[in-house]
Structure 1
Amino acid sequence: GNNTARSLCLAAAMSGMEFRFAAPEGYELPADVVARAEELAAASGGSVARLRDPREAVKGADVVYTDVWASMGQEEESAARREAFQGYQVDAELMSLAKADAIFMHDLPAHRGEEVSAEVIEGAQSVVFDQAENRLHAQKGALALILGEESG
């Protein structure tokens, strides 16, 4: 699992959410992250499930979130990762298994045709551009806090 998946898993567990993570063999979340998330989920009323089948992971979901299959620094692994993640693309068929009012999220930049289809990322359920705008405001707030502490 990548940093986004780790952070989402821990945040969802702290918040009492049901978190389902699907990945091919060899790309699972690290055991220590899962163990910590399970502790947090037990305290908050949430749950954590590690799955192989992306269809099982999105069934009835409120939010479907994916990320790039190869992050920065993993370029040499990109061909192997594309092969391993075949069948994990978030497309219209996969989104149809989530709740009818489910939203699609991605922290961008996305590779249309790899981890997400153009139809989904540009569709009505996609909130990726709102998500990017919200990230901008969060970053501005963090900068204001940091600069305020340094000058004060």
Structure 2
Amino acid sequence: MQAASLAFHPPALHTSPSYFSSKLPHHLNYSLFSHTPPTSTLSLTQTLSRKSICKPRAVGKYVREDYLVKKLSAKEIQELIKGERNVPLIIDFYATWCGPCILMAQELEMLAVEYENNALIVKVDTDDEYEFARDMQVRGLPTLYFISPDSSKD
């Protein structure tokens, strides 16, 4: 009696184009099991054309004008601190790339609605006002400063 030979023959994925490989982008249309690199790669012009599709915003960071919490410069903040106020001043130091700052901004907008006449909430972009943030000893983001309307308190 002859012994049966058992051999596993996986499907030849890399020998014939399949439905899935034909749908891949050209630079990915090669076998995953092949040890040879793809014959062509993306050219520099293809990369540049992709980048031109997603054009960056204009110079400077965009902040909507209809927010209740206004973005102020360092000079404007210093004038507010030294000036006469009847309500406490809340300063939010933030950055546009900071995830927790975005969450904090949403909460501050709700507080600005709730305490519209009882507090003044403003924000400072630390990327634009780096030296002012350093002078105010901002070490992490977001940072909130609460400043009393009473000028006798530090």
Structure 2 length-normalised TM: 0.24
Q: Whose RCO is larger (CA < 8 A, sep 6+)?
A: 2
Higher helix share: 1
Structure 1 length-normalised TM: 0.24
- Which has the larger Rg? 2
